[in-house]
Amino acid sequence: MTLTQLNYVIAIDKYKNFGVAAQHCNVTQPTLSMQIQKLEDELGVILFDRAEQPIKATKIGETLIKQAKIILRESQKFTDIVSEEKDEAVGELKIGVIPTLAPYLMPLFLKDFMKSNPAMKVVVEELQTTQILQKLDDSELDIGLLVTPIDHEGLHSEPVFYEPFMAYVSDKSSLAKASKVDQKDLNSNDLWLLTDGHCFREQSLLICKNRKKTSDQNKNLLFESGSLETLKKMIDQENGFTLLPYLATMDIQNSKKLKEFNQLVPTREVSVIYNQYFRKNKIKESLIKTIQNNLPKEVSISTNKKTQIIDLPMGKN
């Protein structure tokens, strides 16, 4: 049994196809198939049911695939421990970032982080929270940058900053003349939302829950988007409002449309999250420090008495 064979097993389980798995492992399909056959002969079991389309792991195969992932994670610790001991930032760092953070946060710090770690290859993926959690479980990502708290077995998180919410309102909205807004004034029927799957959507609904539904917004229009930028453009044309994280407001030219919250300020906690096998601790500390050093003054690394952390309903996943 070799680590290479275990990598092939995991690739087949992921892509459900020998040919596709071989391409991603940079080998020919006959080579991959031969190695899988050798491993099955050595173990005396069948790992995959080739008759199924797409290919499916057998019952014993599923158990062994889970163990293969653990073995490969443990083997990676060798190089990670050595790099930590030598104080070297080498190798590859795979980061997953949620869509409501990626376009606004990454340009603030990524250049400085890479300058501080010139030998480190950084790979960034923009993914929804559930995708990041799954890839962290499978060690396909090293770190996630997402909204917490999240209670997910085997994963650990460290808060990095606290980002306030702001209201972005239409000129036609009843909120347009207000200097600041109160949560009690937010009518949920006027709220423009991201599509399902975005944690920011769930937080927005929590802030506006149980609000009185009185609106003259066009009832014939039901519109949800996967982009905060699209929501802003729709509000420029229509009635109503949306909620935005502060970093998403920094390039807005017409600041009159932006409203801060009065009294308690709804805020989201942004953290780095990683699995229990993660060993690149000095890199993680460098990442956190670089992010914090590049934040605007309106985004704090700590809370105060006016901060209201908005929980995540999906945080118990």
Quick one: 154 and 173 in the same domain?
A: no
What does each of the 317 residues of the chain score in pLDDT, given as a tens digit? Answer: 898 999 899 999 988 999 999 998 999 999 999 999 999 999 999 999 888 888 899 999 999 998 888 888 777 767 766 666 666 566 789 999 999 999 999 999 999 999 998 888 899 999 999 999 999 988 889 999 999 998 888 899 999 999 999 999 888 888 888 889 888 888 777 787 777 767 888 888 788 864 454 444 444 445 566 788 888 888 888 888 888 999 999 988 768 889 999 888 999 999 999 988 787 888 899 999 999 999 999 999 999 888 999 887 654 33
Does 306 map to a domain?
A: no
Does 101 map to a domain?
A: yes
CATH number, position 131: 3.40.190.10
Last residue of a domain, one of 19, 50, 81: 81
- pLDDT for position 217: 47
Quick one: 44 and 175 in the same domain?
A: no
Which H or E run contains 111?
Answer: helix 102-116
Whether residue 149 is preceded by a cis peptide bond, meaning omega within 30 degrees of 0, is yes
Last residue of a domain, one of 81, 113, 144: 81
Quick one: 20 and 70 in the same domain?
A: yes
Last residue of a domain, one of 55, 81, 107: 81
Separation in Å, CA 56 to CA 27, 50, 51, 137, 279: 21, 7, 8, 20, 32
Quick one: 188 and 251 in the same domain?
A: yes
Quick one: 93 and 155 in the same domain?
A: yes
Quick one: 37 and 179 in the same domain?
A: no
Closest to 110 (Cα-Cα) out of 93, 86, 127: 93
Q: Find out whether 147 and 270 touch, Cβ atoms under 8 Å.
A: yes
Does 197 map to a domain?
A: yes
Question: Distance between CA atoms of 133 and 137, rounded to whole angstroms?
Answer: 6
Question: Distance between CA atoms of 84 and 278, rounded to whole angstroms?
Answer: 12
Does 169 map to a domain?
A: yes
CATH number, position 43: 1.10.10.10
- Three-state SS letters, 181-235: ECHHHCCHHHECEECCCCHHHHHHHHHHCCCCCCCCCCCCCCCEECCHHHHHHHH
Quick one: 77 and 60 in the same domain?
A: yes
Q: Which residue has the tokens 């801060």?
A: 260
Q: Is 135 helix (H, G, I), strand (E, B) or coil?
A: helix
Closest to 111 (Cα-Cα) out of 124, 101, 128: 124
Quick one: 168 and 249 in the same domain?
A: yes
Does 72 map to a domain?
A: yes
Q: How many domains does the chain have?
A: 3
Chain center to CA of 124: 10
| CB neighbour list of residue 161: distance below 8 Å, 6 or more residues apart | 270, 291, 292, 295, 299, 300, 301
Give the domain range for residue 222.
Answer: 163-266
Quick one: 8 and 135 in the same domain?
A: no
Quick one: 186 and 259 in the same domain?
A: yes
Residues in the chain: 317
Question: Does the global pTM surpass 0.95?
Answer: no
Quick one: 76 and 103 in the same domain?
A: no
Does 308 map to a domain?
A: no
Does 231 map to a domain?
A: yes
Q: Find out whether 168 and 260 touch, Cβ atoms under 8 Å.
A: no
Does 304 map to a domain?
A: no
Quick one: 72 and 8 in the same domain?
A: yes
Backbone angles phi, psi at 180, to 5 degrees: -140, 165
